[in-house]
Amino acid sequence: MNLAEKILAAHCGKKNVTPGEFINVIPDIVLSNDITAPIAIREFRKIGVKKVFDPSKIVMVADHSVPNKDIASAEQTKVMRDFANEQGIMYYDVGQMGIEHCLLPEKGIVLPGDVVIGADSHTCTYGALGAFATGMGSTDISSAMATGEIWMKVPPTIKFVYHGKLGKWVGGKDLILYTIGQIGVDGALYAAMEFTGEAIDNLSMDGRFTMANMAIEAGGKAGLFHVDKKTLDYVKSRANRPYKVYEQDADAQFSKIIEWDVTKMEPQVSMPHLPSNTKPVSQMGNIKIDQSVIGSCTNGRLSDLELAASILKGKKVAKNVRCIVIPGTQQIWQEAMHEGLFDIFIDAGAVVSTPTCGPCLGGYMGILAGGERAISTTNRNFVGRMGSPKSEVYLANPAVAAASAITGRISSPEEIKN
C-alpha cells in the first residue's frame, strides 16, 4: 500500500485497502468554520442526538467573516459559538483564532498519520504533515459529529516527483501552480496527490502547506507528503497527544507517476479564470493591477510575509494600487510585528489586517469592483471569486505579489531586486 492507503486502512480497522473500495473511517479531527458550521449544526439537530461523539475531536474556527462584517455573519458566528459552548468542543474566536488551515497545525491539533475531515475544501492542507485530510460537505460533517464515522471511497494515488533545485524566487506556490497548469483542474480528480523528489525534500514546511492546500485545485481528494525530519521538528513542540508516522510499502502501487525537473522553473502566475491557466512570470506582459493581496490559508504564514517584506523593504506601493497583507494567525501576526515586518509594510504604503479569510472568497477586506484586477497569493481565481464578476484575479507567490504592488503591474521580483 502507498501512504494514503496505509493511513486509511489504519483508520477503518482493515489490514489492506484498495482504490475504489468503500470503507467506514474513524476520523481524528472533524472541522468546520463560520460559513459551514451553522449548516452542519442544523443537520446535527435533525439527527436527534444530544451530544457530539467526542468533543476533543471536533474543532470550529471563526475565520471567514470575522470580526463580523455584518448582521448575517454575526448571526452565523453566534450559532457556531453557542453550539461550541454547549458541546464543550474546541472553538477559536476573535483574539484566539486564525485562518483555520494555518491555525490547526500551529496549535498541534493536526498531527502526522491523522485522518482529518473538514467542511472546507482546503482541509487538504494538513497533508503537509503526513495526514490524510480532505474536505466534505456540511451534512457529512453533521453525521460525523454525531457518529464519529464517515464513509469514503479509497482514492487512487498519483505520485508527483519534482527533481532538481528550486531557484531563488520559486517555492511551493510555483510548484503547485505549475502542476495544476500541466494536469488541469480535474487532472487529479478524486485522487490522492503524493508529492516527492529532491525539490520537495528541500522545501520548507510552509512551502509544503502551500502545495497541499491547493491539491483541491487539481481536483485532488488529498495532497500528501511523507514525514521527514522537517515534519518531526515542526510537530515535536506542538503535539499534545500521541501520533503515528506511516510509511508506504516498498512495492507500493500508484495509478500514475509524473516527473518533472524544476531546476529552471520561474515563478508562476495563474491567470483568470482558472488556477490551471498558468504561465511563467516572464511571459505575462504589461498587465496593470489595482490590488495586491498577500496572505490566506495558502500563503499567510511567517515565511510568506518575510518573503514579501524582503521585496517591499525601502520601496513604495505604486500609486492607485492597494496592497493588503493578512497574516494567517494571531501568532504569525505577533511574530511578524516583532520582526519589524509591519513597519516595512506600512512604510511601503500597505495595510495589515487581522487574521481572516476576508477577500479570498469575496467576503470583505478587499472586494474588487468591476474592471479591477488583483494579484493575490490566495488559491482560486474563478469568476467573481474576489468581488465583481467583471473583475480579474491572478494567483502568484508572495514575492511576485509584492513586486507587482511596487510596479503597479504583474512583475518578477528580479525586476525589483535588480
**Tens digits of per-residue pLDDT, 171-203?**
999 999 999 999 999 999 999 999 999 999 999
Residues of the chain with pLDDT > 90, as a percent, come to: 98
> Residues 6 or more apart from 295 whose CB is under 8 A from it?
99, 304, 324, 325, 326, 327, 328, 353, 358, 377, 378
d(CA 101, CA 289): 28
> What is the average pLDDT across 227-247?
96
| Domain map (residue ranges) of the chain | 3-259, 268-417
Cα dist from 293 to 110, 322, 402, whole Å: 27, 8, 9
Q: How many angstroms separate the CA atoms of 133 and 124, rounded?
A: 5
Query: d(Cα 209, Cα 152) in Å, to the nearest integer?
Result: 24
Please determine, for residue 417, whether its predicted confidence score (pLDDT) is greater than 90. no
Average pLDDT, the chain: 96
Residue 376 clears pLDDT 90, i.e. is over it: yes
Question: What superfamily would CATH give domain 268-417?
Answer: Aconitase, domain 3 (3.30.499.10)
Residue 249 one-letter amino acid: D
CB-based contacts of 13, cutoff 8 Å, min separation 6? none
Q: What is the dotted CATH code of the domain comprising 3-259?
A: 3.30.499.10
Predicted local distance difference test score (pLDDT) of residue 331: 96
pTM of this structure? 0.94
CA–CA separation, 299 and 302 (whole Å): 9
The 10s digit of each residue's pLDDT in 273-325 is 999 999 999 999 999 999 999 999 999 999 999 999 999 999 999 999 999 99
Q: Can you tell me the mean pLDDT for 112-128? A: 97
- % of the chain beyond a pLDDT of 70: 100
For the segment 47-62, the average pLDDT, to the nearest whole number, is 96
203 touches 170 (CB < 8 A): no
| pLDDT surpasses 80 at 19 | yes
- 3-259 matches 268-417 in fold: yes
Residue 418: pLDDT band (50, 70, 90) is: confident
* Contact assessment for residue 103 and residue 90, using Cβ atoms and an 8 Å cutoff: no
Q: Nearest 5 degrees, angle CA 13-CA 14-CA 16?
A: 150
Mean pLDDT confidence for 63-92: 95
Q: Is the pLDDT of residue 255 over 90?
A: yes
Give the dihedral of Cα atoms 160, 107, 330, 76; nearest 10 deg: 90
Helix, strand, coil share of the chain (percent; to 5): 40, 20, 45
How confident is residue 16, by pLDDT bands cut at 50, 70 and 90?
very high
User: Residue 194's closest CA among 171, 154, 222, 164?
Assistant: 222
Dihedral of CA atoms 131, 132, 135, 141 in degrees, nearest 10, equals -90
